[in-house]
Structure 1
Amino acid sequence: MSPSDIHDRGYLLTEQSNPRSRQLDQLSSLELVDLFNQEDQHTLAAIAAARESLATAIDRIALALGQGGQLFYIGAGTSGRLGVLDAAECPPTFCTSPELVQGILAGGTTALVKSSEGLEDVAADGAAAMAERQVGPHDVVVGISAGGTTPYVHGALAAARQRGATTIFLACVPADQVPATVDVDIRLLVGPELLAGSTRLKAGTATKMALNILSTGAMVRLGKVYGNRMVDVAVTNQKLQDRALRILGDLTGLEREQAAKLLVQSGQRVKLALLMHWADLAADTADALLAQHQGDLRQALQVAAVSPPIL
């Protein structure tokens, strides 16, 4: 990117005026809602068009995490906040450590609730974030930039490449407008926003959808899901305990009281409880079997010569 590209972004798809919303300020509230609904259909089309790059990204992330690496999302403004949000949801959903998936936001935690958009212009800060976290060859760095030009993100990706990490770029502009030298290039082309340049709208929605797919897809590949159940759920409150008990009841046919006893015996670990029940194993034996198969319940069941229940 040249300096002129950085300062004159009018050519970017995300900055252009949407012809369908030229009379936005004259629409009724119902007309506003209808127009938003119509435009948001483009987010689904954008995700569908990026299906192959999203699938490749899932495989690269799962491979890295399976080898002991970490996943880092990095961005500024709305893009960065969405990365932080997705990272924060992984520990309760998949019982991962907070270090496994991390969101890095220009401006730090303060920028979560207070606009700090000026900080996105410093590429060196993005590079410094990679050095601070000691990003290495087993890690994956996903740079998120709706408009594609954020220096903070490009600085981070360049540094991550130099450090041997897998790099993924997630943007809502075509590659010919903002090229990127990365391992996986994901473009979510939702078109101009109803409010010109406000990428917290369609671009933000499509980005959130893509991050949902990446993190959930990678965790599925890592064996943290059985069927469509989050069997690695962290039982940290009443809602999640209820979900754990329902998973156990649904998959085993146990009454709630029996499921509760099994959950206690497993140390509040749903996946372990399932293996204990289906394979008729003590907790320590089942735990060792799961560890031998990197937590993959289906593989553990096959080794224990137990036919997985048909879901």
Structure 2
Amino acid sequence: MNQKLIQELALLTSEARNPDTQDIDLLPTEDILGKINDADREVPPAVYREIPHISRAVDAIVEAFKSGARLIYMGAGTSGRLGILDAVECPPTYGVGEDMVVALIAGGSEAVYRAQEGAEDSFELGGEDLKNIGLTPQDVVVGIAASGRTPYVIGGLRYARQLGCVTVALSCNRAAAIAAEADIAILPEVGPEILTGSTRMKAGTAQKLVLNMLTTASMIRLGKSFYNLMVDVKATNEKLVSRTRRIVMEATGVELQEADRVLSQCEHNAKLAIMMILSGLDRREAEIALRNANGFLRRALQTLGMKTSPATPAESAKPEVRERCGEEAVY
């Protein structure tokens, strides 16, 4: 078994030795950091080459969301933690339920903080974890594994595919075994790490970029933005309250006092406040208009025959705008 695994790893570019960092143990700090930065620059182009596959995954995720189904990430180690990071940011950022994007990690919650040895080596555990959250055929399952051979992820993808789910494999190796287990394979091959096999580095960065794209593009497709403003953000702390006020002011051009007045009428719902201000509708009428437009603010306004022109980035950066919003809104 060990000999077979050694042979498998030898085929993976993420496990190869990086010719550019052979002398890294002898370098001064600044030169080490330069090597790391040089290596990191290889990541965005690798992700860019995968955009056609990422696009297919986003389209599948959007359809799942529209039907009330879920996006489910599963991985082990760094890959699992990156899935969790992306999933937990969705409710406050986009105002969605906590069960819309779900993340599973081999070994459970303990594995978030400490390595759970052996958990990722179980094919059965991947399927069991999906059963335990009540996986349905309408859900989309994204298996994340830098190496592309993690048994936990392979087992999960196999179970999901048998159930009829759309499955997505995310790995940083063209020879990834999980690619054969999924309907869509996203494989940004970033090459050898600066320290051999340390896939939390370039591979982890590539995975994070892809996960950002999957949820961000999907949420935009669901109407969670107005132009490039994050209008479904939940105002759950002082910073987010200030950010919500700033969003309303930038979208409508009103002063802080007016933004606060309307926000107070709709439980600090930025999208609804913008709709009320720009349309002149009361809360109930604005809610109906948004519902008829499936939550798309710009579409709802256009249906009413209204033109919109939010502040440009240059305008929103002016000192007077920062003063109106409050300095705390910009951090």
Higher relative contact order (CA 8 A, sep 6+): 1
Q: Is the 8 A contact 2:90 2:101 kept in 1?
A: yes
Residue 223 (1) aligns with residue 223 (2): yes
The amino acid across from 1:256 in the alignment is L
Partner AA of 2:228 in structure 1: N
Q: Secondary structure at the match of 1:63?
A: helix
Q: How many Å apart are 1:177 and its aligned residue?
A: 6.6
**Identity of paired residues, percent?**
40
Q: Distance in 1 between matches of 2:117 and 2:66?
A: 35
Which runs of structure 2 are paired with 1:238-253 in the superposition (5 Å)?
Answer: 238-253=238-253
Secondary structure of the corresponding residue to residue 231 of structure 1: coil
Number of residue pairs aligned between Structure 1 and Structure 2: 310
Q: Quick one: distance in 2 between partners of 1:238 and 1:303?
A: 34
Aligned equivalent of 1:234:
234
Contact persistence 1:107–1:119 (CA under 8 A): yes
Q: 1:93 to 1:40 in 2, by over 3 A?
A: same
Query: What is the aligned partner in structure 1 of residue 309 from structure 2?
Result: 309
Structure 1 position 294, deviation (Å): 2.1
Contact kept, 8 Å, 1:147 with 1:173, in 2: the verdict is yes
The one-letter code of the counterpart of 2:99 is E
Number of the residue aligned with 1:134: 134
Q: Which residue in 2 is equivalent to 1:260? A: 260
> 1:69, CA displacement in angstroms?
1.0
Aligned to 2:290: 290
Q: 2:93 & 2:35 partners in 1: Cα distance? A: 34
Corresponding position of 1:59: 59
Structure 2: unaligned runs, 5 residues or longer: 312-331
SS of residue matched to 1:180: helix
Matched with 1:113 is 113
Shift of 1:287: 1.3
* Amino acid across the alignment from 1:200: R
Please report how far the alpha carbon of residue 302 of structure 1 lies from its aligned counterpart in structure 2 after TM superposition.
Answer: 2.2
In the TM superposition, what is the alpha-carbon distance from 1:299 to its structure 2 partner?
A: 2.0
Closer/same/farther in 2, CA of residues 117 and 24 from structure 1, 3 Å limit:
farther
Q: 1:176 to 1:271 in 2, by over 3 A?
A: closer
1:186 deviates by: 0.2
Residue number in structure 2 paired with 1:29: 29
- Secondary structure of 2:72's partner? strand
TM-score (normalizing by structure 1): 0.95
SS in 1 for 2:41: helix
Shift, 1:45, TM fit:
1.4
Distance 2:308 2:123 in 1: 50
Cα shift at 1:206: 0.7
Query: What's the Cα RMSD here?
Result: 1.6
> How much does 1:292 deviate?
2.5
Q: Is the 2:138–2:165 contact (alpha carbons within 8 Å) kept by the matching residues of 1?
A: yes
Aligned AA for 2:171? A
Structure 1 gaps of 5+ residues are none
Q: Does 1:41 align with 2:47?
A: no
User: Are the equivalent residues in 2 in contact too, given 1:76–1:117 (CA < 8 A)?
Assistant: no
1:93 maps to which residue?
A: 93
Please identify, of 283-292 and 269-278, the stretch whose mean Cα deviation from structure 2 is larger: 283-292
- Once residues 275 and 166 of structure 2 are traced to their aligned partners in structure 1, the CA distance between those partners, rounded to angstroms, is 34
Which residue number corresponds to residue 189 of structure 1?
189
Partner of 1:82: 82
1:210 paired with 2:187, answer no
Letter in 2 for 1:195: L
> Cα distance, 1:288 vs. partner?
2.2
Contact kept in structure 2, 1:149 and 1:178, CA below 8 Å: yes
Are 2:63 and 1:70 equivalent residues in the alignment?
A: no
Q: CA deviation at 1:116?
A: 1.4
SS in 2 for 1:234: coil
Distance in structure 2 (CA, Å) of the matches to 1:178 and 1:263: 47
In structure 2, how many angstroms separate the alpha carbons of the residues matched to 1:302 and 1:276?
14
TM-score (norm 2): 0.90
- 2:172–2:189 Cα contact (<8 Å) kept: yes
Matches of 1:175 and 1:55, distance apart in 2? 21
Q: Any idea what the Cα deviations from partners look like across 1:121-143, whole Å, max 9, x if unmatched?
A: 00111001111112122211110
Paired position in structure 2 for 1:171 = 171
User: How far did 1:225 drift?
Assistant: 0.7
AA aligned to 2:196 is: A
Shift of residue 147, structure 1, vs aligned partner: 0.2
